[in-house]
Amino acid sequence: MTEPAAGFPEQVTIYEVGPRDGLQNEQAVVPVEVKAEFVRRLVSAGLQTVELTSFVPQKWVPQLGDAEELLDLLGPLAAGQQRPVLVPNERGLDRALDKGVRAVAVFGSATETFARKNLNRSVAESLEMFAPVVKRALDAGAWVRGYVSMCFGDPWEGPVPVSQVVEVCSRLMDLGCDQLSIGDTIGVGTTGHVSRLLEALDAAGIGVDQIGVHFHDTYGQALANTVAALSHGVSVVDASTGGLGGCPYAKSATGNLATEDLIWTLDGLGIEHGADLDALVETSVWMAGQLGRPSPSRVVKALAGA
Ligand code: HMG
Ligand code: MG
């Protein structure tokens, strides 16, 4: 049943990360034909923004070592679609631009330990690495997202001060990013903390129209945190069909907010999103068959009887 509530956006963009965040963390490498079929199903279910893969060295993320092949299999975009990819450095950007990609994401960290583990650099050195990537991407007419990981807590450093997160976010916006994605990589955040961070970002001149939220569901808080962000006016929400996801360089990172769980809440609030819930549930059931284990999404379980 739809019961709209005051103070929420009328429309939300679902930023689907299943093919990238979901599949980067699988134990086995998923065949590229299966990845392409996954993306086709997501797009035909109405998801306009689908993050496809990462242009990183194969030895860092073997699961996504087929980035070029995947893009070749998928072919050109239809009008209105956006298919971003992750690029950590200029080498990654060159590979992406060569394949005709025009939406990229750099990915920074709010903490030093995760920057070292995920990017082999300090926070400052990673921002130096991103500067020419963002500039050259913008010069090439690309849209650029800046992820910030460990915005709430870090498995090695513990709770992360809001001011530290705001500092990294500000630096990424100064580089020229079009949008930030605020990452709770290990899923420890809670609703009050989300509000506090969004208020601090706003006070630093980064408004909700420049922000997407990216919640992992380790402690079952992803949906509550998303609703908190929506109530502040955030209208871009990262989610992963079937709740796949995690980060190979962050212990205790589990799946992302499931796209189906997000849609159930959006539908309940009467918020437009353009996606077909039944088609996504069917896709998650199909993907679970490919991966050999059921989807962790509660909505998939309820609707598919899985
Ligand atoms: P490095 O080892 O310091 O890199 O890694 P390097 O510049 O010294 O290069 C090492 C070798 O890799 C060289 O080759 C380079 O040419 C090659 P060699 O000379 O040894 O033959 N190389 C490349 N090859 C292909 N594509 C490239 C590339 N770059 C260098 N782009 C690096 C530094 C940044 C590359 C590495 O640390 C890296 O790739 N890290 C990425 C790890 C990753 O993908 N993590 C998961 C994504 S982040 C995430 O999941 C969080 C998120 O979801 C948000 C959240 O939840 O918080 C986004
Ligand atoms: Mg993530």
**Shortest-distance ligand to the CA of residue 122:** 1
How far away, in angstroms, is 86 Cα from ligand 2 center?
Answer: 11
Percent of all residues in the chain with a pLDDT value above 70, rounded to a whole number: 98
How much is the pLDDT for 169? Answer: 98
Measured CA to CA, the distance from residue 151 to residue 93 in angstroms comes to: 25
CA of 272 to the centre of ligand 2 (A): 24
* % of the chain surpassing 90 pLDDT: 91
Residue 25's pLDDT is 86
**How far apart (Å, rounded) are the C-alpha atoms in residues 121 and 103?**
24
Question: Confidence band (pLDDT; 50, 70, 90) for 28?
Answer: confident
119 lines ligand 1 (CB under 6 A): yes
pLDDT over 80 (residue 70): yes
Q: Whose CA is nearest to atom 25 of ligand 1?
A: 57
| Contact present, 215 and 187 (Cβ < 8 Å) | yes
Domains of the chain: 13-304 (3.20.20.70)
pLDDT of 286 higher than 60: yes
Distance CA 268, CA 270 (A): 6
CB contact at 8 A, 8 and 246: no
Q: What is the position in ligand 1's atom list of the atom closest to the CA of 183?
A: 57
- Is pLDDT of 251 > 80? no
Q: Is the CB of 247 under 6 A from ligand 1?
A: yes
Residue 117, CA atoms < 13 Å, CB-side half-sphere: 17
- For residue 248, the model assigns a pLDDT of 73
Query: How many residues would you count in the chain?
Result: 306
For the CA of 253, the nearest atom of ligand 1: 56
What Cα–Cα distance (Å) separates residue 46 from each residue in 39, 41, 277? 11, 9, 9
Which of 151, 169, 177, 247 is catalytic? The answer is: 247
Separation of alpha carbons 39 and 59, rounded Å: 24
Pairwise CA distance, residues 226 & 198, whole Å: 12
When the pLDDT of each residue in the chain is averaged and rounded to a whole number, the result is 96
Q: Does 149 sit in the ligand 1 pocket, CB within 6 Å?
A: yes
For the cut 70, the answer to whether the pLDDT of residue 254 exceeds it is: yes
266 pLDDT higher than 70: yes
Q: What is the 3-state secondary structure (H, E, C) of 277-306?
A: HHHHHHHHHHHHHHHCCCCCCHHHHHHHCC
CA distance 60 to 119: 9
pLDDT for the residue numbered 293? 87
Q: What is the predicted pLDDT for the residue at 245?
A: 81
Residues contacting residue 150 through CB under 8 Å, at least 6 positions apart: 109, 110, 111, 114, 157, 160, 183, 185, 186, 250
pLDDT over threshold 70, residue 252: no
Question: If you take atom 2 of ligand 1, which residue's CA is the nearest one?
Answer: 120
**Taking residues 7-32, what's their average pLDDT?**
94
Mutational test site, ligand 1, from 15, 24, 56, max ligand atoms within 8 Å of CB = 56
Specify whether the CB–CB gap between 120 and 90 falls below 8 A. Answer: no
Q: 10-24, 41-55, 213-227, 244-258: lowest mean pLDDT where?
A: 244-258
Relative to the CA of 129, which ligand 1 atom is closest? 34
Q: Which two tokens stand for residue 8?
A: 């929420």
Question: Taking the model in full, what pTM does it have?
Answer: 0.97
- For residues 166 and 173, the answer to whether their CB atoms sit within 8 Å is no
Task: Determine which of 118-132, 204-218, 284-298 has the lowest per-residue pLDDT on average.
Answer: 284-298
CA 103 to chain centre: 13
Query: For residue 119, how far is its CA from the centre of ligand 1 (angstroms)?
Result: 6
Query: Mean of the pLDDT values across residues 281-286?
Result: 98
* Mean pLDDT, range 200-219, rounded to an integer: 97
Burial of 1 (0-12, 13-18, 19+ CB in 10 A): exposed
Closest C-alpha among 112, 218, 217 to residue 158? 112
pLDDT digits 0-9 by tens, 141-176: 999 999 999 999 999 999 999 999 999 999 999 999
Tell me the two tokens of residue 215.
């919640």
Distance 3 CA to ligand 2 centre (A): 30
Q: Is 247 a catalytic residue?
A: yes
Sequence-distant (6+) residues with CB within 8 A of 22 are 240, 241, 242, 244, 245, 255, 256
Q: Which residue has the tokens 């992803």?
A: 222
**Ligand 1 contact, 240 CB (< 6 A):** no
Does the Cβ of 91 fall within 6 Å of ligand 1?
A: yes
pLDDT of residue 148: 98
- pLDDT score, position 306: 52
Is 222 a residue whose pLDDT tops 70?
Answer: yes
Cβ 145 under 6 angstroms from ligand 1: no
Read off φ and ψ for residue 177, nearest 5 degrees: -60, 145
* 8-state DSSP, 60: T
